Structure 1
Amino acid sequence: MKFYDPSEKIKTIRKKLHMNQIELEGKNMTRAFISMMESGKRKVSSNSSMLLAKKFNDKAKQLGVQINLDDEYFSRKPYEDAKIYCESELAKEISHDKYEELLKISFDFKLDIIAMKAYKKDADKYFNEGNYEIAFEKYSNALGKLKELKEIDEQSYVYNQMGISKLNRREYEEAIFYFNQAIFYAHKEMMEKQIIEVAYNLAKAYSNIKLHNESLKIIDKYISDEDGLVNTDFNLGVNIIFLKTRELYYSGKKKEAVIKYLYLIDLIEDRNNLLLIEVFNDLADYYYNIANIQESLKYINLAQRLEIRTDKVLSPKTLCTKAKIFFAQGLVDESIMILELAMNISEQVKNFASLFSTYKELAIVFKSLGDLERLKEASMFFLKVLEKYNKSEGKEFALCNLVEIYISQGNEKESIKLLKELEEIFENQ
């Protein structure tokens, strides 16, 4: 995109419209004056710009074209036109390539605010597309510009988005750093709602690294009125209550957690089916672990019915819990069938954490049955999926299972080969 000096604008448009300087003359603008403006020897004032714009717009209209030059067009310098163009483009839904074009313009004309906005909006686009790695890089660039400009009010948002990007990439320790920074800047600007949202994300990050007491501390420190929050932002409020309930459960306060789970069922009703499915799944898991199979089955069936009703792909977690219940009831074949289905769905929806947890349950079943061949098949399938998607979580577990199988079968060659592969994995960790 090229932006012209005032003198170049006059010359370019005059030639495009096949006009001579005489046609631009008027009561307050002589031909000599026009010539001096066109050669760059005289500055184009706001008044002269308005007169020129009218002359050119009228001529264009006679020719049957619309150029719509505004009154200030000829008095603006290139960097001012560049800024207007960029701001106009930033207000639209544009492509990543267009953002790159705007960034180049912003660098050429030293438009730091434009550069910051372009980085941030491009980052948002990558984030919404699920490309968290590039989104993080773009947010980082936006943050750099914000710090150069000493703009504080946007920094909490950008730090939070950087944290979520890390959270979604399972880089939890780094996510914690960015969420803490987001809270710091939200405090500076007294952004109460932002503090609550970031605190929720920070608590989730601690939860993912199994620091459940730390997660609870964050919720209690920054979110004092959960029920009040439900009235102002229902989804955020119930998600926070759900996270706190789950953290209570995993920190050993299971009975207290169950009371809150039951409260959540009444609170949510039919306003957030996806969260309600999670509540039913957690309750099913709780009752399974205390050997109350009937109650466990009740909640897993509720979860399954709700998934079907909401046209949601059956959750691998729901299926996995149901399979465990069936196994406890002696329905072995049904249990295996459901676990294998859960593994296939996990691959389909690319939920690799769920794929691993389901594979572990399947391994427990096959080991308890002494069925090493089927354990071998399941392990090979699991490793094949990991390789296909370039994932590694659970690889050591599957390799250890295969080593045990090959040792029991007297296959020394395969055992040594896999042990070397395991050794390389542990060395690189």
Structure 2
Amino acid sequence: MQCQFEQKFKLKISMENFPQLYSKERLHSFITKYKDLIQLDPHKELHCGIIHLDELHIAAQLLHQGELVAFPTETVYGLGANAKNAQAILNIFKAKKRPLSDPLIVHVHDKNNIYTDKPDFLDSFAELFWPGPFTIVLKSTQLETTEILSAGTGSIGIRIPNHKVALELLEKANLPVAAPSANLFTHISPTSAAHVFNDFYDQRVHIIDAGRSDNGIESTVIKPLGNELHILRLGSLAKETIMKKIGQSDKLKHFAIKYENKYMQIEETEEDIEKELEELNVLERKNSMEAPGQFLKHYSARINSFIVTFQSNTIGQQIDLDLKESVIIDFGSELKNRIADLDEIKYKSLSENYDAKEAMFNLYDSLRWAELQQGAKQILLYDFDTQINQKVQNDENVLSIQDKIFRSASGQKTYYNNNKFYLCQ
């Protein structure tokens, strides 16, 4: 790693005010610290900067200058830009290779930073859920950048994160900050600075290193429609928790919770997305999402993934799947107990104690680990859609984990029986 770093390092960013962020010593120290989590392409150059925790004032200045800053939250790391700067927002889409039909969430340290004519119930939601992993989608007229932020829908998701570093950054910048997860489009969301670095080390991105995120998956996204509260994206705030809290609020208990799975297909190729970003034709699109996290392919590793099931009514053809070329991601020891000959197979359990909250915390980190394993051609995932025994703790989180795993495998399931794998149709 050191030899590769010394040979390939070329400084391409001209930032005379903050040269320390891009110093060879700082980047080398960062790569050494996370050497087991980082995989560099020797044909690419290093472009990003590393921000220390005592330099958040610099991160705030960078946001004002229209730069991209990756920062930690309690859910996952976000790729932040000034939400009032259209070019900065566009740079998020370009860096992530993300279609303009996929809207962004805006982070604030004060709900009044983005809404001047906020609805009456916003204060009640804020009192119950903020700061925290709760994003609410509402019509916005205050920001001139609403069209690009909202994928042309006119509605923006906002939240106040529950993370000391994020809140300090937002307060120092005193800006609304647009910030989707800091990963390439459809890739696994990042729960550490090393994950962000793996996706963006060759781009103009500045990364705040603040350890692992506390929750491990994204915020829950909701949208009030009349007397209904629609969950648009499952996240680390459980549906049951939302129902319980609003049920105890005199001002919110009239809301009925609604949730419907949406598995949208990605219609654009990478070339289509690149052209779309050049032409900025967001207003012409008719397939815009209401919220992020609604595509079928999402949170996906760079190698193929399958959900392993032991019961299926739609068994298809047998598939040639070599366990020695597989990485197993289990829950408890369910797969270990039912799949033969795992002694020499790369294996990790999301929670040996059947704790769904612990599994949620470990999910993306485990997927990132799995895709880096030498010789691995596929990941085999525990099926959270299966009835689990009474050992499970914090089972209110199971629905969110199930959703993330299903999308990470693009819905692909394989039926296992007598040492053979069959594709589920």
Normalising by the residue count of structure 2, what TM-score does the alignment of the two structures yield?
A: 0.27
Higher percent of residues as strand: 2
Query: Structure with the greater relative contact order (CA < 8 A, sep ≥ 6): 1 or 2?
Result: 2
Between Structure 1 and Structure 2, whose CA radius of gyration is higher?
1
Return the structure number with greater helix share. 1
TM-score by length of 1: 0.27
